[in-house]
């Protein structure tokens, strides 16, 4: 699919057509952060959309949590809910053009939204964006689907993509997925090599 650009995604928000948004912070992600990550860690959620996890973590005192999404309507949704969220911590640029460093990056329905041809670039750029020993954590789909977002994938493919640049600490079926995704998600924790 060649039209997965900023205009495409912006239009989905403008048309109120964003069914991927679960409407609340995914506990699998926020539990991990609360159990493993210090409050002053630099955290990025790329392709954050309306940013429920960003909202949750900000309200819990994670003062360096950043959202990134190039759809400006997605940013507006977060800011409309969280009036004290600093505008400059919602980055509205192309992920692949970001040049900043983080201790933790959280993945949820961003990888699957990209054209699969970009997957090697995703791996390289995640590696570049992380500080030494930084961690990429989150959820990846475990399903066959190649007809447009969300694009699927499987554990073998993810191992092949990430193993040269990351230590694959965890990559397993997620047992606590939200109901519509149960059985179709892997939870992972990859540490920058």
Ligand X SMILES: C[S@@+](CC[C@H](N)C(=O)[O-])C[C@H]1O[C@@H](n2cnc3c(N)ncnc32)[C@H](O)[C@@H]1O
Site map (CB under 6 A) of ligand X, residues 60-89, x = contact: --------xxxx--x---------------
Tell me how far apart the alpha carbons of residues 21 and 171 are, in angstroms, rounded to a whole number. Answer: 24
Q: Tell me the closest approach of the beta carbon of residue 101 to ligand X, in angstroms.
A: 17
Residue 117: which of 142, 92, 151, 156 has the closest Cα?
151
3-state helix, strand, coil in the chain (%, to 5): 35, 25, 40
Tell me how far apart the alpha carbons of residues 115 and 119 are, in angstroms, rounded to a whole number. Answer: 8
Tell me how far apart the alpha carbons of residues 119 and 129 are, in angstroms, rounded to a whole number. Answer: 15
Q: Which of 32, 62, 66, 95 binds ligand X (CB under 6 A)?
A: 95
Parallel, antiparallel, or unpaired for β 166-173 and 90-91? unpaired
19: tokens are 């069914």
Note whether 55 binds ligand X by CB under 6 A.
no
Site map (CB under 6 A) of ligand X, residues 108-147, x = contact: xxx--xx---------------------------------
Q: Return the residues of window 6-35 that contact ligand X according to CB under 6 A.
A: 9, 20-21
Residue whose CB is less far from ligand X, 20 or 155: 20
- State the number of binding residues for ligand X (CB under 6 A): 20
Residues at the contact surface with ligand X, assessed by CB under 6 A: 9, 20-21, 47-49, 68-71, 74, 94-96, 108-110, 113-114, 149
């Amino acid at each position: 699919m060649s039209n997965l650009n900023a205009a495409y995604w912006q239009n989905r928000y403008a048309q109120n057509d964003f069914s991927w948004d679960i409407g609340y912070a995914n506990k699998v992600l926020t539990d991990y952060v609360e159990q493993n990550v210090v409050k002053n860690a630099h955290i990025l959620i790329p392709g954050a959309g309306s940013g429920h996890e960003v909202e949750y973590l900000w309200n819990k005192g994670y003062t360096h949590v950043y959202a990134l999404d190039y759809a400006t309507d997605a940013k507006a949704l977060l800011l409309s809910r969280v009036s004290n969220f600093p505008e400059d911590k919602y980055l509205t640029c192309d992920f692949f053009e970001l040049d900043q460093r983080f201790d933790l990056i959280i993945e949820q329905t961003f990888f699957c939204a990209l054209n699969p041809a970009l997957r090697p670039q995703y791996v390289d750029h995640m590696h570049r964006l992380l500080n030494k020993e930084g961690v990429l954590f989150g959820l990846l789909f475990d399903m066959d689907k190649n007809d447009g977002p969300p694009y699927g994938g499987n554990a073998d493919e993810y191992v092949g993509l990430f193993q040269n640049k990351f230590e694959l600490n965890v990559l397993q079926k997620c047992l606590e997925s939200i109901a519509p995704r149960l059985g179709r998600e892997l939870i992972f924790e990859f540490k920058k090599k």
